Amino acid sequence: MKKANESRPKLAVWKFASCDGCQLSILDLEDELLALASEIEIAYFLEATQTASDGPYDLSLVEGSITTAQDLERIKTVRRQSKALVTIGACATSGGIQALRNFRDVNDFLAVVYADPGYIDTLATSTPIADHVAVDFELRGCPVNKYQLLEVVTAFVFGRKPMIAAHSVCMECKMRGNVCVTVAQGIPCLGPVTQAGCGAICPAYDRGCYGCYGPQDTPAMSAMTDVLDAHGMSRRDIQRILSTFNANATPFLEESQRHGTADD
Amino acid sequence: MKTDAIAQIGESGVLARSDFAKLLSTLQDEGYAVVGPTIRGGAVVYAEIDDESELPIGWTDEQEAGTYRLKRSGVALFGYVAGAQSWKPNLFQPQRTLWTARGNADGFVIEAVAEDMPRQAFLGVRACELKAISIQDHVLADPANPESDYVARRQESFIVAVNCAKAGATCFCVSMDAGPGVEAGYDLALTELIDDVRHDFLVEIGSPRGASIAARLPLTTASGGDIDAAEAVVSETAAGMGRTLNTVGLKSLLQDNPDHAQWDDVAARCLSCGNCTFACPTCFCHSTEDVTTIDGEVAERQQRWDSCFSLDFSYIRGGAVRPGVASRYRQWMTHKLANWFDQFGESGCVGCGRCITWCPSGIDITAEAAAIRDSLRED
């Protein structure tokens, strides 16, 4: 138990190439935020406050992927200042939707998007944080589940294992009492190959899972795409459903490429 | 002819279709929450119902490996086959908190989790499901190591069984000696009797609790013809099983062939998603996890369903014992059909067919067993 005069662990929250949605999940912890702030010192969190204190930090939460040379250097600085580093969200854990650039010539995008591409200095790829520095834990999701985020922060504060399951969405879908949308309605669903954590939200509203939590710990990709095919998904649609927020996650990437390229 | 005499265990009476709502209201008057079949998400599920109109009246289902569709048919209340999920979640909760530890000046105290125990009446329990409950009793209500929440829910539950009037294409309860007629373990058992001139229910009394409910229903004396008609319903269903599983020598067939090529064959189709285990009415595996609040003042031990298809399930120091999908499917099927005998003295399968219907990939446990058997015959 913590003594009143004991110093609180210092938390830092960092943004790389991302939409900020995962950081916002911290602020979405409306009922728990005061307790969180009283137990840990929020030392660096620009999304929430301009007041920032210097490192080192006990725990760094890192959102976003590496897409620029500057960020590649900055993540190394963050790592050096952090006792523990946890990546949060699809961008930080797999490269995010922006990793679609990895499969095309980034200069083609620049030419289309920017009036004067010469001002843009970017890497050809979007890559997860763990490709560049040691990561202590990866929390999946697009965005992350705020209760899973609280569990991870709490676990690191107390030096215990985070209770975050790596099994399929199907298991939490059945635990929630949903009827399988694939079996009962013929809706293609990525639940069998996708990691749990969302609470099986999409199937609960009669939609197929689209894989925003990335691959489960042992995804059976070939068996999955056989099922998608059997439920009427075209080869192109299979290629595309696996090329979204976790397009760069190896199992999704390889199976997507087995079904053609983005140009098809 | 109304009679007050039909209130003894083993006796039968006839309840007119027009009086069926009285069964629900009598149970509700006794303080039971009636959990029965209703339609949600394109399937028959078991959920709390207030009124007869919520039953899947005039609906049936068509099931095959990996597919389930509802279809309009007739006027029966129980014309569907097995529901999407069994009664397992109502007795063995998917997740619950076992206990709480709260910090105090001396360290901490353990507190039990206070929970209002639901008094449930299960309406429409099929023979295979009754058998599954008895199998789970042997695991979760073992006096040596009882799962307290399960035991309490079980004791409070009132069971209205229904004899199946239709076998689904994935049903094989006859092979597993688990149906389609109910034999024991119910408070009341119904057989829906429908022909050109009647729509009634034969009501059989199976327990003192059942007798006390039956005594308050407008039952008429069952004739020999009524009982014959009910038996005919069951025997016709038994003759219509969509699947068979040859259980002769099945235990040794599976236990003696851990390296059979069929395990790799099924692994290529298996999604390792765990749907079969969570749809199975007898799978009982679960994990416990400890969590803490951010202030460190409260810890909770939580229990949740777990599956032999997850990698973490077999994690011990140094890694997972079953890293490959073939070893996980083999574990599940061999446990269910063979090792269960060594562990509990019976099979762990009741032939309800849920693992076949609700496998998105359509893997068929009866076909997998047959493939191993047939390959050895050819040798």
pLDDT band (50, 70, 90) for residue A6: low
For B245-255, what is the mean pLDDT? 98
The pLDDT assigned to A172 comes to 97
Question: How would you classify the pairing of strands B286-292 and B298-305?
Answer: antiparallel
Check pLDDT > 50 for residue A4.
Answer: no
The pLDDT assigned to B36 comes to 98
Q: Residue B305: which of A32, A175, A181 has the nearest Cβ?
A: A175
List every span in chain A annotated with CATH 3.40.50.700: 10-158
Query: Does A36 contact B294 at a Cβ distance shorter than 8 Å?
Result: yes
Per the omega criterion (within 30 degrees of 0), is the bond before A143 cis?
A: yes
pLDDT > 90: percent of chain A? 94
Task: List, as one string, the DSSP characters of A34-48.
Answer: HHHHHHSEEEEETTT
pLDDT > 90: percent of chain B? 93
The pLDDT assigned to A261 comes to 72
Residue B243's CB is within 10 A of a number of other CB atoms, namely: 22
From the list A22, A151, A39, A3, the residue with the least C-alpha distance to A89 is A22
Task: List, as one string, the DSSP characters of B117-152.
Answer: PP-EEEEEE-HHHHHHHHHHHHHHS-TTS--HHHHH
- Phi, psi values for residue A39, rounded to 5°: -95, -25
Query: Does A167 contact B45 at a Cβ distance shorter than 8 Å?
Result: no
pLDDT band (50, 70, 90) for residue B114: confident
The pLDDT assigned to B368 comes to 98
The pLDDT assigned to A263 comes to 58
Query: Does B271 contact A224 at a Cβ distance shorter than 8 Å?
Result: yes
pLDDT band (50, 70, 90) for residue B119: very high
Check pLDDT > 90 for residue B227.
Answer: yes
| B 53-82 → A contacts, CB under 8 A | 66-69
Per the structure block, which two tokens stand in for B259? 């390296």
In which residue are the tokens 């140094």 written? Answer: B318
The pLDDT assigned to B115 comes to 79
Looking at the complex, report in whole angstroms how far the Cα of residue B267 sits from the nearest Cα belonging to chain A. 9
Check pLDDT > 50 for residue B311.
Answer: yes
Best interface-test mutation with B: which of A183, A195, A222 has the largest number of B CBs within 10 A? A183
Tens-digit pLDDT profile for residues B52-107? 999 999 999 999 999 999 999 999 999 999 899 999 999 999 999 999 999 999 99
Instruction: Give the Cα separation of B102 and B108 in Å (integer).
Output: 5
From the list A225, A227, A220, the residue with the least C-alpha distance to A240 is A225
Arch. (CATH architecture) of A10-158 = 3-Layer(aba) Sandwich (3.40)
Check pLDDT > 50 for residue B1.
Answer: no
The pLDDT assigned to B147 comes to 94
Tens-digit pLDDT profile for residues A136-173? 999 999 999 999 999 999 999 999 999 999 999 999 99
Q: What's the ipTM? A: 0.95
The pLDDT assigned to B5 comes to 58
The pLDDT assigned to A5 comes to 45
Q: In the predicted model, what is the mean pLDDT of chain B?
A: 95
For B192-203, what is the mean pLDDT? 97
Domain ranges of chain B: 12-238, 250-378
Tens-digit pLDDT profile for residues B6-62? 678 889 999 999 999 999 999 999 999 999 999 999 999 999 999 999 999 999 999
DSSP A17: B
